[in-house]
Structure 1
């Protein structure tokens, strides 16, 4: 900071201004010194002016100055002092007005600064409170960060464990997948083999069915023929039985007649021959009936063939 000015400095600057034919003013002196308040410079300038008359009187009292020159110089000096005083008063009034304006401005600035200081204090107080809140929140955040760091470390350990477990499961899955693929291929091959065998069996069954159907039709034709022959044979048997009955009756009649008639050997012989013929015909018819009963057995074979065909059809539909 610049130091305070002295009276000697103000006097020297004012003398230099007068020597340069300039009127010493507060602004010029402050400009030359580069410091000093207007009040201080104005007071010291008044002191310099008061001492100026004394110094002029000493100059006028010198023995080597003529009286006329001294009077003229004194008159000039008086006029100069009067003019200087008027100028000084005008300058003082201007300086006072400027000082008053400066004081008013300073007052306004002071009020503004006071308001600004109050606001700054309020802001500082708010900032302090905010700092305390921020410090509290910072401590909470630090604790939270520490907790999260611990949780993160734990999660990383869990992640490593889970990754290891995932690797193990992936390896087990690959192994299981290989086994399943092998089993599936084997099962597919088995299914294809079973299907091939089933198709072969179906084809063979179809051929057997065709053969059985042809055999069935042939047997049906034979059965129809045998049935016709059986009906004819039954009719013949019935006729033979009826004839045998008649022959038996006739034989009994002949026996009775032979018992009564001993003289009829030729008729007896003829009756015996007729009886023997009827007996042979009955035996022949009985043999035919036995053969016909044997021929009726293919019906059971045909039924078995139909059942087997139904089973094959069910397999084919599945």
Structure 2
């Protein structure tokens, strides 16, 4: 990041993803203060400073002006609706608007917003990248897209804004293995995954990119879409999970995405995932994979790292 080492970083939403992200940002620049803002009192992650404030109020919440030094090095936003607070998806654009006003008022050099590949909302197994048309058909997709547009609009004001669309977040404390071992997803559904620490690395990475990358959207996944049946087969060794599971017996979440997501644009900037497939991540979480193919041999519905799936294109750096 281009500001001096004393410039503050504000991370909004220190939850399962945001808290370790803040700790990683603090560890990377010990002389820099990293603040974590939450609407409720939360302990600060290691090396960080906690701030009780409501990002949806923006600079109308005086806590931001009192705590933060100007100019800010960056604002990073990792918010999600909370069932405990009764939040609706409207929290996404509200948080984006608040973060944008904070970034503008405090002269932030960069704004990074973690969104979701759910914004594509494809259900036919098609390949998508950052140039794929977004056509909101429900409240969640509309809220996600509105939030992204709000963030990207700040780029015109001189703030280096970036949207990271993460897919299928998993990692320590969030294990998708049992769900797939139980066959809870239709076997022909395409799934996309993002290892938590790889998304955190992507946040740090885009903060180092030059100003020419402002106003950019990146998909942040392992770039290896895989069908649910292949995951079930890997975990259980049962071929029937791939070929014979009756669809009517599958407890599929209503509206579940079925799409193949390319992260080629982010890869082209130099970022690399440490978990290039979900099978690597499942092993890291302690799963044995009796049905997994030998290295160099792809399972049905599984593209090997570095090999594009049919229909994938290589996008440029901009959305």
Q: What's the TM-score once normalised by structure 2's chain length?
A: 0.13
Q: Which of the two has greater helix per residue?
A: 1
Q: Larger C-alpha radius of gyration, 1 or 2?
A: 1
Q: What's the TM-score once normalised by structure 1's chain length?
A: 0.13
Q: Which of the two has greater strand per residue?
A: 2
Structure number with higher relative contact order (C-alpha < 8 Å, ≥ 6 residues apart): 2
